Amino acid sequence: MASLLVHGAVGKATTRMMVDAILRVAGAPIPADVLVLLSPERDGRQALTALHDRTPVVANADSVPASWLQASAVTFGLGEKAAVSARDVDATIDGTSFTLTTDAGSRQVRLRVLGEHQVSNALAALAVAQACHIPLDGAVSALESLDSVGPGRMERLEAPNDVIIINDAISSGPQSAAAALKALAQISAGRRSVAVLGEVAAVTEDAQSVHDRIGRLIVRLNVKQLVVVGSSARHIHNAAGLEGSWDGESVLVDTPAEAYDLLRDELRMQDVVLVKGSQGSGLDHLAHRLTGAAR
C-alpha cells in the first residue's frame, strides 16, 4: 500500500491531516509512496537518497537545498522559486488567507485554521496533490473546508464574553512555540493577547537557552500577559523579565490548577488566550476549563 513519508522538524502531523482531507475529496488513496521534505534534517536526506528514482518527491524550497532534489521534484514555499507558492498572506482570528500560485495560475485560498505557519503546511499538501495529479480545485476546497487540524493543534475554543482560547497544547518544541506565539500576536489585533506556556521541549539545544529565547520573544511580540506554568519552565518567566516585562505582565505558577485560578479572575472581554504545552502537561485540560472561566 502506498504511503506518505513526511520528514521535518515541525508540521508533520498537520501536513498529513491536510493531505488526508484532500484524498477524501479525491476519493482515492495516493497512487504511490510520496516523500515530503518539510525541512532539511538528516533523516529526510537519508530517506531521499534511499528512494527509487520514480518516487514522487515534494520539498520545501525555502529550506531544502535544490541540489538535493531531482528535476521532477515538486517544490513549495513562500519564495517565487517554488512551483507551489503563496503570497499576500493574511492571518486573522477567523482564519488565514493567501494567494496560491502554481503553473496553472493563481487563486485565492481561505483557510479556516489559525496561524500564518499553517500556510506552509497547506502548500505542502497542495504540492502532494500536484505530484499525485489530483485536481487543484478539489484540493483547495478540501483545505478550505477544514475548521481544525486536530485537537490541541491551534484549536479555537469559545469562552464567555467573546474570549477566544487557542488550544495548542499537544506538543511544544522551540519552533512550534515560536510559530504559535507569532500567530497569537498576529490574530489578536485589537484584542488583549495572553500566553499560557509550559515547558518547551529542547531536544538538540540547552533547555535554558531555549526558554530564554522564548521568554524574550514574548516581550518583543508585545504579548500583553504571560503565565508560565511549572518550575521547569521558569526561565521563560525570568527571560521575559530581563527583556522588559514588568508589573505583573509575567507570572510564574506551579500547576495548571493555579494558572486556572489566576486566569479565572484576570480574563477580560475579548481576550485571545494561547495555551501552549506538551502532551501530558495538563495544559490541554486547562484550555478546556478556561472556556467556562471568563467573566
In this structure, what are the phi and psi dihedrals at residue 206, rounded to the nearest 5 degrees?
A: -70, 130
Give the residue-averaged pLDDT of 107-127.
95
Residue 271 lies in domain = 155-292
In-domain check, residue 274 = yes
Which CATH number characterizes residue 13's domain? 3.40.1190.10
Distance CA 18, CA 147 (A): 11
- Asked if residue 249 lies in contact with residue 240, where contact means CB atoms within 8 angstroms, the answer is yes
Residues in contact with 161: Cβ distance below 8 Å, sequence separation at least 6, in sequence order: 267, 268, 269, 270, 294, 295
Q: Is residue 150 part of a domain?
A: no
pLDDT tens for 5-14 read 999 888 899 9
**What mean pLDDT comes out for the span 204-227?**
94
**Coil, strand or helix: which one is 94?**
coil
* pTM score of the predicted model: 0.89
Grid cell of 57 as nine digits? 518527491
Pair (226, 113) in one structural domain: no
One domain for residues 236 and 196: yes
Q: Which amino acid is at 182?
A: K
- Domain assignment of residue 56, yes or no: yes
Say if residues 277 and 170 touch (Cβ distance below 8 Å). Answer: no
Q: Is the predicted pLDDT of residue 102 greater than 80, yes or no?
A: yes
What's the rounded Cα separation, in Å, for the pair 267 and 161?
Answer: 9
pLDDT of residue 293: 62
Residue 295 has pLDDT above 50, yes or no: no
255 and 194 inside one domain: yes
pLDDT in tens, 73-91: 999 999 888 999 999 999 9
- Whether residues 79 and 18 fall in one domain: yes
Whose grid coordinates read 486547562?
286
The reply to whether 125 and 165 lie within a common domain is: no
- Number of structural domains, the chain? 2
Residue 289 Rama label (left phi>0; alpha psi -120 to 50; beta): alpha
The 10s digit of each residue's pLDDT in 22-50 is 999 888 788 878 999 999 988 888 888 88
- Residue 43 within any structural domain of the chain: yes
Q: For the chain, first and last CA: distance in Å? A: 52
- Are residues 138 and 164 both part of a single domain? no
Domain match, 32 and 131 both: yes
Alpha helices in 109-227 (DSSP H): 118-131, 136-145, 174-187, 207-220
What pLDDT is recorded for position 1?
Answer: 58
Q: What is the CATH number of the domain that holds 213?
A: 3.90.190.20
> Looking at residue 279, what DSSP letter applies?
T
**Parallel, antiparallel, or unpaired for β 272-276 and 193-197?**
parallel
Answer yes or no: do 210 and 97 share one domain. no
